[in-house]
Structure 1
């Protein structure tokens, strides 16, 4: 058995990790360049931010938190939250519109399709600056 050094290229074969590495490098380069905005970040106006907060209800935040533990189907989220599947589906659609989750249809063995919910980011950071007029 030979010892071989493991490099990032060994993981780049996995499309998800390779994409993550590429995006991480872009963010690191923007930080080094001290740019005003970072790639893959979203900046809201105060009006948009107020609308965003009103849309991120406690029940929707709970769905987001549960999905962050690993991709889950809408049915699984409904069971975990003791809610009706149609209500969860509507809330997931709102989270998708807010850009917080990705929803992918996959085969459900013998039962057609199911929708898998995956968060777009692992954190939500809020940095507010209030200045006098």
Structure 2
């Protein structure tokens, strides 16, 4: 995937985009490799994508990192980072994989699903 778009939009906007996508598919046109996530309420979007979670996303955008590396670079507790990773994985913004850490067991490597995440919030 090349880009993720996170936006605020009403239900009508969601269905308008879906209708345009269906028409594009009917014409046999190709789609960009992107995904869009919509929040109806801007406040909900900013609650879910808090400053700490946005910093986490930025931290793993260019290069995957382990949870241990994230605790050091973000100056946060491991449990808080693990909780945020779980939420962002459920939203489809992060992926993680377990890998062997010789002499230390298993570690989790975390990365974003796309090299670019665009956030659009419209108030009013």
Q: Give the TM-score normalised by structure 2.
A: 0.65
Q: Does 1:54 align with 2:32?
A: no
User: Which structure ranks higher in relative contact order (CA pairs < 8 Å, sequence separation ≥ 6)?
Assistant: 2
Residue equivalent to 2:88: 95
Q: 2:101 aligns with which of 89, 108, 124?
A: 108
> 3-state DSSP class of the match of 2:35?
coil
Residue equivalent to 2:34: 40
Moved over 6 A (4+): 128-131
Structure 2 alignment gaps of length 5 or more: 3-23
Q: Which structure shows the higher strand fraction? A: 2
Q: Quote the RMSD (CA, aligned, Å).
A: 3.3
Residue equivalent to 1:83: 76
Q: Give the TM-score normalised by structure 1.
A: 0.61
Structure 1 alignment gaps of length 5 or more: 1-19, 22-29
> 3-state DSSP class of the match of 1:42?
strand
